[in-house]
Structure 1
């Protein structure tokens, strides 16, 4: 039996497990009529530049099943590239993977990027005139590196002809459902989804230090958080944010206090500092450039508030993570 759709899955070294595991498990659930993991209605193989294993950022390794010399690209519909922990690392790997990606594209295979794999395709010149969905944490860096590529931070994934991009995380499951729907129908695409996604009672929700838990946030709060991410580098005030949403500053603060026990201003401030912390560890850009990403021009002030929040200076943090 020939599958309705076939995928090549290409995890980059140091890839993140969540989107990879979510995507492949959704394929597995939809692959057959029961739950035997047989590749009847959709098929997949794990591709690598060479045989052996590829190790994820969590030190879990997966085995490469096929190399470029062992396959016919014309037999596949999608080549899905799973990004690694560092966008800079993804860019540096472009020269190693460029020939493989171009060969797949020449056979009409749709190239799919998950998380920061979009940096590698952009660096390889394979995203020209395409729209790209980029995780909000990487958006400013991507736009600075590739100003001619249109970025869609408001979308979990973006399907643009023969190029598809996904912001990563659990959004990879949403993308898998969409692609399976196109080839196998909605019913089969949704098969097993309820087993993959559980709804937690309110009292059991995990409180994340990074402030990314929005499961129970109301419509206004969710909208505010989305705008905070989009406007991370803008020097907008919380009053302006409330006006954009259509509520008062006092009402916005009350909603945030109910949900996160802090004001909207404090939430936004923490989001900026968390972004800076992550970028210091995962990039080599100067503090001046990173400060611009979060809308702060005074680096002396930034160092002061950063030290107060994390107990060390930005320079010390970066040095300790080299």
Structure 2
């Protein structure tokens, strides 16, 4: 049994956790469970070495994207920012919907920043931070699904390439997913020491804490594709909104266009241009499903200025116009 008479030490680090409407459970649960393991010497979930409270605009519950709700423990009117070191914000399922929350959350975020609380954006929360003017002069890590969208919306904010998380002064950002666990380890290591930060990883069935630049092997077939093709795929994603050609891509890698095409055909059965076109169309399809932006806006995201041509490309690939595809997808989502 735990020693209930032992004096509780002052926590080394104190967190406010702010889940936004339709937040993802994976990063929230992973981040919180890592805090829980590090907070106690045993496994009693006592908040001895680190502490946390769930913040919300009002009391009640915040529903996640999966429908599971989390209870709000504290509202802005009830807290003293001096009692906390980090405000960790967990973004919603839609970047646009998260961004639209700026009028409601701006005072909370700016109030925390003004009082020296470090702000942490996880997943789409970076869109909220940017909309609130809190990322000016800072670098940011965003989920690869939303990198092109973020660059298009906030071209003056530097997006770091292929990073799980990014520390930039009093602004910290994380791409989301299981990378929230890695971020929690790094934050805890800086405040509580590496040994305590790593405590519980084995219980979570996590092999090791990944560095911010850990390559995400599940994203591309880079390991099997070879160095040149893997580098080309990474550049294609980064330059998705540009009008650069495959010739320019080959030059950036240091090989000829013919050699690049041959490597792509060997690895994927298509040329570099065909692979890049498919990447753009897949991105467009995903954005049609997950945003309300017009085709003209989305065309800028995929580097194809001619909206009519883009619509024809999409129809040839998917058998429908973009408008029909979006309409049918929404019909299927409506409850019976």
The reply to whether TM is greater than 0.5 is: yes
Where do residues 56-75 of structure 1 align in structure 2 (5 Å cutoff)? Answer: 56-75=64-83
Structure 1 equivalent of residue 267 of structure 2: 256
Structure 2 equivalent of residue 301 of structure 1: 309
Seen in structure 2, the aligned counterparts of structure 1 residues 161 and 268 have a Cα distance that, compared at 3 Å, is same
Structure 2 equivalent of residue 103 of structure 1: 111
Seen in structure 2, the aligned counterparts of structure 1 residues 234 and 40 have a Cα distance that, compared at 3 Å, is same
Q: 1:272 aligns with which of 280, 285, 294?
A: 280
List gaps (5 residues or longer) in structure 1.
200-210
Seen in structure 2, the aligned counterparts of structure 1 residues 111 and 316 have a Cα distance that, compared at 3 Å, is same
Per-residue displacement from partner, 1:225-282 (whole Å, max 9, x unpaired)? 321210112234445434433464256326633xxx7665554333222211122223
> What number of residue pairs does the alignment pair up?
309
Q: Secondary structure at the match of 2:87?
A: strand
Cα distance in 2 between the residues matched to 1:213 and 1:192: 30
Residue 88, structure 1, aligned to residue 99, structure 2: no
Where do residues 1-322 of structure 1 align in structure 2 (5 Å cutoff)? Answer: 1-194=9-202, 195-197=204-206, 212=219, 217=224, 219-238=227-246, 240-246=248-254, 248-249=259-260, 252-253=263-264, 256-257=267-268, 264-321=272-329
Cα distance in 1 between the residues matched to 2:117 and 2:306: 47
TM-aligned CA deviation for residue 315 of structure 1: 0.4
Seen in structure 2, the aligned counterparts of structure 1 residues 72 and 285 have a Cα distance that, compared at 3 Å, is same
Cα distance in 2 between the residues matched to 1:189 and 1:214: 32
Seen in structure 2, the aligned counterparts of structure 1 residues 226 and 34 have a Cα distance that, compared at 3 Å, is farther
Q: Is the 8 A contact 2:223 2:230 kept in 1?
A: no
Cα distance in 1 between the residues matched to 2:123 and 2:245: 30
The structure number with the bigger radius of gyration is 2
Q: Secondary structure at the match of 2:310?
A: helix
Seen in structure 2, the aligned counterparts of structure 1 residues 103 and 235 have a Cα distance that, compared at 3 Å, is closer
Cα distance in 1 between the residues matched to 2:316 and 2:42: 55
Per-residue displacement from partner, 1:122-171 (whole Å, max 9, x unpaired)? 22222222222223332333333333322223332222221111222222
159-168 or 238-247, which deviates more: 238-247
Cα distance in 1 between the residues matched to 2:112 and 2:163: 26
Q: Secondary structure at the match of 2:17?
A: strand
Cα distance in 2 between the residues matched to 1:190 and 1:273: 41
List gaps (5 residues or longer) in structure 2.
1-8, 209-217, 331-336
The CA RMSD measured in Å over matched residues stands at 2.7
Cα distance in 1 between the residues matched to 2:17 and 2:67: 18
Scaled by the length of structure 1, the TM-score of the pair is 0.84
Per-residue displacement from partner, 1:197-238 (whole Å, max 9, x unpaired)? 369xxxxxxxxxxx8355955655543332121011223444
271-280 or 10-19, which deviates more: 271-280
Scaled by the length of structure 2, the TM-score of the pair is 0.81
Q: Secondary structure at the match of 1:232?
A: coil
